[in-house]
Structure 1
């Protein structure tokens, strides 16, 4: 971390502790679950500043995900704040299995992350109208959960090798158990529903909400043996119903060789409500495509 950035952060927020290029926010106590909160704040922020919530995978950490992915140079370029939640579980996974986490303001990890976004909006003059979420594996599952439970908070999400919102529900799972609940049926790609059934499930997590829904970008590898490939189509079915889009159009070798792009409804890869990328021969997980995320979120325009 550059000393000028560190000094600027210390003067802005004395309770922040430096760690591997990102900073730990020690005065974030909103909870309700005990996730760690780390942020990356570039020297020059847009006013108000867009926000990216970037969620790590199992066996991962906020610090690790901040270096595995390459969002920080883009934050420097476009002036947005990055939030890196840190799992409280021994295996580094997030809770996407309990009713608490799946439900709007239900008391699980999802509510804690929503409170992190609210914290950044207040502390760093964050832009509530330009807030985005992305994640890999467990973080991808949580990305779908965040978009499903907090559609009023996010404008778009990008999901790397996850499962549909609600797919990982485990009866009796609690928000505080360690490790979080695990659904073999979902992980193995054996849980299938109609598009309307998946859509109804997502809508049930925030009953009464009738506002706009975030645009979604979905990435999955055909050789994924952890969260198996059928979850890709199930996720696309879900969001096509939630977003009310159909008529999928495919393009081979896009955005690179071996990837097949699918755009639902009107628009392009950067403006459509739902875009999918199937990566032939790619296992768990699809490499993060940071520039594509920026374009889809509208941060690079």
Structure 2
């Protein structure tokens, strides 16, 4: 567990952040983690290096020195995987107090999913010139409201990135930790027309405070407001706007002493009220790391608000270092090894291609024991364990529904030979509402006579690795045996591999 840190320049602490640059979107109030003086000194030294122009710390993170109006005096850093197509999503990720864009990029795990699922990242950065602890000013109405200060600067960054990457303007998301989480909530309230969704990690409700003094009450206690009063704070942030509203994920440790856990409940009350839905969960689910997920569905049965409560976790961002798809990030100050919050947030937003969660939000649990029972050159057969109360099951191929069955077996046909496909399955209740999806499995169809020497396999780099024909190191993929470089580990770089021996493959683009 991490020690307590402030979110505002006064008591407590939150993650650190350096240098500034422009962008325009409304930041919101949230305490940021503050470190001890010795830590701050080290951060100041390390962060000073980040103030340089091009790469900031971690490989691939680049500073944008001109992005439009910058009334909040922020710095903009960005990352995008090579070959990112037009129309891809955009995610804005905001560090906590005493943190930096580079720090958040390095530890949060967002780069992994940008590479894997194909989207661009923007990392706003504040500095000690704006706030003594390098906190985003979630508690200052001159800086965190629509069209003003840091909020306006973040919005400028979004507009700049959208233009540069030709992003899908209907799939722009924002997330943040601690003070960055507070600003995230403010931005969602200030610009609901610009953000399709958000995630507040160890943060506070939108517009919880308008002064630094009031910030302490938000951070350490309860404001004792009704859901309607919380909802009014959002509605008044962009008066006249009536929807659609952003879909919001809330992450909170139950042992957080920097931002009291009641803030998560208040965030839940705020955004369910904005959506016009009740505060009783549509369903709950147990996740890794002692995490309980409570889902609040919109009238169409799709998750509008998700609340992730992590038992025993103190203040910080939940990460889960490892090479598995559901694992991400690295530990550090205020990066706590429990569960990969970035993975679940990205799936909630549908960045994995599932359309939002890879399943639904019904009360039935996810099926277990999903197994590939056989493949041919054009089909893949699956089986899984029965779920009590299930009327049927929906099978998803690469995040898209491939079919529905009443039993616990399914054969997907009409597939391409020598190709890998990722499958999940969700239980559907009698009302037609699907529950959460199962864990994923990969099925590879046979090709070239069954996959022996001389067989050719055309697929994206992610699936080539999943099928055991290639491996990844440092985010790059290499063919097994020959170790030929195949490019980035993602789902939109495609190669043909030819098997020339046992566990030996060579790149054969255009020759097989």
When the two structures are superposed, what TM-score results if normalisation uses the length of structure 2? 0.51
1:298 aligns with 2:335: no
Q: Distance in 1 between matches of 2:68 and 2:157?
A: 9
Q: What do residues 106-129 of structure 1 show as CA deviations (whole Å, max 9, x unaligned)?
A: x12111101100011112212211
Residue matched to 2:337? none
Q: Distance in 1 between matches of 2:283 and 2:114?
A: 31
Residue matched to 2:432? none
Residue matched to 1:17? 54
Q: Distance in 1 between matches of 2:74 and 2:92?
A: 13
Q: Please, which runs of 5 or more residues in structure 1 have no aligned partner?
A: 1-14, 174-180
Q: What do residues 193-231 of structure 1 show as CA deviations (whole Å, max 9, x unaligned)?
A: 000000011111111112311001101111110011111
Residue matched to 1:251? 284
Residue matched to 1:273? 304
Q: Please, which runs of 5 or more residues in structure 2 have no aligned partner?
A: 1-51, 320-340, 354-512
Residue matched to 2:222? 190
Equivalent pair of 1:102/1:205 in contact (CA under 8 Å): no
Q: Distance in 1 between matches of 2:300 and 2:103?
A: 33
**Displaced runs of 4+ in structure 1, greater than 3 A?**
266-269
User: For 1:62, which of 98, 101, 126 is the aligned residue?
Assistant: 101
Secondary structure, counterpart of 2:287 in structure 1: coil
Secondary structure, counterpart of 1:127 in structure 2: coil
Equivalent pair of 1:46/1:78 in contact (CA under 8 Å): no
Q: Distance in 2 between matches of 1:268 and 1:211?
A: 15
Q: Distance in 2 between matches of 1:98 and 1:183?
A: 9
Q: Distance in 1 between matches of 2:237 and 2:298?
A: 27
Residue matched to 2:143? 101
Secondary structure, counterpart of 2:169 in structure 1: strand
Q: CA deviation at 1:68?
A: 1.1
Moved more, 160-169 or 281-290: 281-290
Residue matched to 2:88? 49
Q: CA deviation at 1:73?
A: 2.0
Q: CA deviation at 1:168?
A: 2.8
Residue matched to 1:91? 133
Greater helix share, 1 or 2? Answer: 1
Distance 1:48 1:266, change over 3 A: closer
Q: Distance in 2 between matches of 1:265 and 1:85?
A: 31
Distance 1:100 1:156, change over 3 A: same
Equivalent pair of 1:279/1:286 in contact (CA under 8 Å): no
Q: CA deviation at 1:83?
A: 0.2
When the two structures are superposed, what TM-score results if normalisation uses the length of structure 1? 0.86
1:226 aligns with 2:258: yes
Distance 1:142 1:68, change over 3 A: same
Residue matched to 1:209? 241
1:132 aligns with 2:173: yes
Residue matched to 1:158? 199
Larger-gyration structure (1/2): 2
Equivalent pair of 1:95/1:108 in contact (CA under 8 Å): no
1:123 aligns with 2:156: no
Residue matched to 2:440? none
1:81 aligns with 2:113: no
Q: Distance in 2 between matches of 1:182 and 1:127?
A: 37
Q: CA deviation at 1:186?
A: 0.7
RMSD, aligned CA: 2.0
Equivalent pair of 1:239/1:274 in contact (CA under 8 Å): yes
Moved more, 26-35 or 234-243: 26-35
Equivalent pair of 1:44/1:76 in contact (CA under 8 Å): no
Residue matched to 2:74? 35
Secondary structure, counterpart of 1:83 in structure 2: strand
Residue matched to 2:26? none
